[in-house]
Structure 1
Amino acid sequence: MKKLLATLLKIAVSAAIIGYLVYDATQGKGNANVFANLVNQPKHWGILVLAWWSCAVAVLLTFIRWWYLVRALDIPCPFFDAIRIGFWGYLFNLAPLGIVGGDLVKAVMLDHEHPNNRAKALASVLVDRVIGLYVLFVVASAAILLTGLWRIDVAEIKNICWATFAITVGGGFGLAFVMGPEAWVGRAIRTVGRIPRAGPPLESLIRAVRMFNRRPRVLVLASLMTVGVHGFFAVGCYLIACGLPGNHLSFAQHFVVMPLSAAMQVIPVPIGPTEFALDYFYANVPAAAGPPIAKGQGLVVSLVYRLITVLIAALGVFYYFGNRRELVEVIHEAEQDK
């Protein structure tokens, strides 16, 4: 019953966010209605296809990064097996609410195919997620500095920029501390583990990261791959904006707004937070050139981006039909672990 109520709550939150954004976007007058513009004005389909390819390359890079981390932990996972498992994980991350998460599916699937590696499998997906999230803020911070966005005369955007800097610097110091010698950090980790409810998961996460403390080269190369991941996603989002009618933010600005919007994915609601963030940035960051950006333009861009990610994830369906029985077993096992 609790699981059902939690699922219904997540559905309600997602529906409320998207419903509010759509309502707000339709309050424009005449041609300011972005949905009317989307239907009535021409689209650049070739550019939208390029956007799909850019996002697809970004997704593929995440699979390669995870495979690299898996191999660094001495799990003999072949490259194409990692791609197959990666597609399953990506598909389940976008699946309807209530289904087990993609990261857990990846870890269980990896352990299923390479037994007696459960701890390493979990470490690989946890560290993969940590690297992806931290480098996201690094990319956004660099783009903020290069574009000078932190100097614009919008108080809320300035605050977001400074918060991004703080998270980047604080996260860097935190990771450096966690990767220190056991004599330095062991007691602190055990203290964290005693925090009610949140402590044990945090301790597990820190222990997972520390599996790589003697493999700094692996972490550096995985981080460089992650810069490419966020770069291709930012390019994909910019191409989506170029392919749709209406003015949009600049190429460089998308390297700020796309990573920061993607950071909202940490909220356990599959749809809504990222769309809300991108729409907020489009409404509050001044366009570098051209007329003012129409109300709701960010929502339209984010919804097309969401559609593209679903089309990419649909490739995982082919793996499902080829390995249906195995996947059902993995889902059942993941549900028990959850």
Structure 2
Amino acid sequence: MTTRTRHFLIGFAKYGLGFGVLGYMLATNWEGKNGAPGIRDLLGKTPDYAVAATVMALCVAVLAIQYLRWFILVRALDLPFTVGGAVRLGLVGTYYNLFLPGSVGGDLVKAYFIARGQPGRRAAAVATVVLDRLIGLFGLLWFSAVIGGALWAAGDDRIAGNDHLRRMITVCGVLVGLAVCGWGLMGVLPAHRADRFAGRLATVPRLGKALAEVWYAVWTYRQRPGAVYLSVAMTAVCHVAMVLMYHLAVRVFPADGSEPGTLGEHFVIAPVGFIMQAFFPAPGGVGGAEFIFKWLYGLLGRDGAVGLLGRVTLRVAECTCGLVGLVVFLRMRGELPAVVHEAEEEGLGGHEDPPHLEEAKAG
């Protein structure tokens, strides 16, 4: 089997899995149950166009903040870059992540583009993308831990009385605590020990270079914390907007006899849902995201069909922005094949070692 054929079959399987799960979710929730409305009942309502427009505006704002955050992280490493370049490559990355099932994700394409023509700086380029992802993940964990913990402490019945939600909040809180402690410890770690640790990571079979890159991504930015703290603040704004997007999306189609979740409840489940959907192996998490949000809505004791349709509504807004990314992709299509081919051949760990990594391995 050729590499091209294998990639085609894997991509086909991912599309089939994602849309198969989505179709199953819609079919099994099409009719209402136990007096609760189904998808058919909800779609029969006149949508609230003002709320839908607000969801779309928030989606655009979130993407704009994410692109600007990445620009700040790139410039913190003294890589030549512009805001326009960040938006252009960010849109291409959004298109890749939402629509394409291949092994080369939008983040990797972004990293290769900003690294082109800069010998020896590919490691720095990948570092910007890695940390951008880590900061986004930290923000989601932090939101679930803080908001959920506050509601739990306040005695919210739907949180305090639910073992699953309490367990999620606890796990998020532990991970946030570990991340903060690790960040603090790195501030007192001598440079020679950081290099030694990177050298050890580099010896791990197959994944060594990638692991060393992740380590150096965090280490490099630990020496320039201002850009990281600004990015975390921007992430907080992003995640507030993302929760508001979902909070409004479940209200686009008003439900009779089924009250949507409160804003506080959505601050607990939405970040968890956004984290979990990232692990579903389908383009944009299609199918898996809808399943997860329906399940989380059920944990709240509310109608799962409302949560499911809310995630579908949110996906429509995301895909609209992704289509803008498609337009940008088509304009850059002449530049893309070489980059994608190179990324597929080399992978995340296939670029040059940074000088400090070479020294660490030599030592």
- The TM-score with structure 2 as length reference comes to 0.83
Query: Quick check: 1:21–1:296 contact (8 Å CA) kept in 2?
Result: no
Change beyond 3 A, Cα 1:193–1:274: farther
| Aligned mate of 1:70, from 64, 70, 74 | 74
1:63 and 1:304 map into 2 onto residues whose CA distance is 23
Change beyond 3 A, Cα 1:34–1:113: farther
Offset of residue 221 of structure 1: 0.6
Change beyond 3 A, Cα 1:181–1:28: farther
| Aligned mate of 1:281, from 296, 300, 307 | 296
Give CA deviations for 1:116-167 in whole Å, capped at 9, x if unaligned.
5312111111111111111210122111123226852122222112111112
Give 1:83's aligned residue: 87
Give 2:7's aligned residue: 3
Change beyond 3 A, Cα 1:152–1:145: same
Instruction: Please state if 1:269 is matched with 2:311.
Output: no
Offset of residue 57 of structure 1: 0.5
Query: Quick check: 2:60–2:321 contact (8 Å CA) kept in 1?
Result: yes
Give 1:126's aligned residue: 130
Give 2:228's aligned residue: 219
Instruction: Please state if 1:162 is matched with 2:174.
Output: no
Give 1:152's aligned residue: 160
Q: Count residues in correspondence.
A: 332
Offset of residue 42 of structure 1: 1.7
Amino acid across the alignment from 1:298: G
Relative to structure 2, which stretch is displaced further, 60-69 or 226-235? 226-235
Change beyond 3 A, Cα 1:16–1:156: farther
1:160 and 1:73 map into 2 onto residues whose CA distance is 35
Offset of residue 3 of structure 1: 3.2
Query: Quick check: 1:92–1:99 contact (8 Å CA) kept in 2?
Result: no
Instruction: Please state if 1:138 is matched with 2:151.
Output: no
Offset of residue 26 of structure 1: 3.2
Give CA deviations for 1:186-207 in whole Å, capped at 9, x if unaligned.
4444444444444442222111
Relative to structure 2, which stretch is displaced further, 41-50 or 275-284? 275-284
SS at match of 2:304: coil
Give 2:251's aligned residue: 242
- Which blocks of at least 5 consecutive residues in structure 2 are unaligned? 348-363
Query: Quick check: 1:25–1:33 contact (8 Å CA) kept in 2?
Result: no
Relative to structure 2, which stretch is displaced further, 296-305 or 58-67? 296-305
Query: Quick check: 1:68–1:222 contact (8 Å CA) kept in 2?
Result: yes
Give CA deviations for 1:271-329 in whole Å, capped at 9, x if unaligned.
2332222111111114xxxxxx3232211111111111110121123323433312344
Amino acid across the alignment from 1:217: G
Relative to structure 2, which stretch is displaced further, 28-37 or 312-321? 28-37
Amino acid across the alignment from 2:101: L
SS at match of 1:324: coil
1:302 and 1:102 map into 2 onto residues whose CA distance is 22
Change beyond 3 A, Cα 1:181–1:275: farther
1:166 and 1:80 map into 2 onto residues whose CA distance is 38
Amino acid across the alignment from 2:264: A
Give 1:43's aligned residue: 47
Give 1:306's aligned residue: 315
Instruction: Please state if 1:232 is matched with 2:213.
Output: no
Identical pairs, percent = 26
Offset of residue 264 of structure 1: 1.8
2:225 and 2:75 map into 1 onto residues whose CA distance is 14
1:216 and 1:183 map into 2 onto residues whose CA distance is 20
SS at match of 1:244: coil
Offset of residue 102 of structure 1: 0.3
2:179 and 2:28 map into 1 onto residues whose CA distance is 35
- Which blocks of at least 5 consecutive residues in structure 1 are unaligned? 287-292
Give 1:182's aligned residue: 191
Give CA deviations for 1:159-190 in whole Å, capped at 9, x if unaligned.
11211111211222234345533344444444
Change beyond 3 A, Cα 1:170–1:254: same
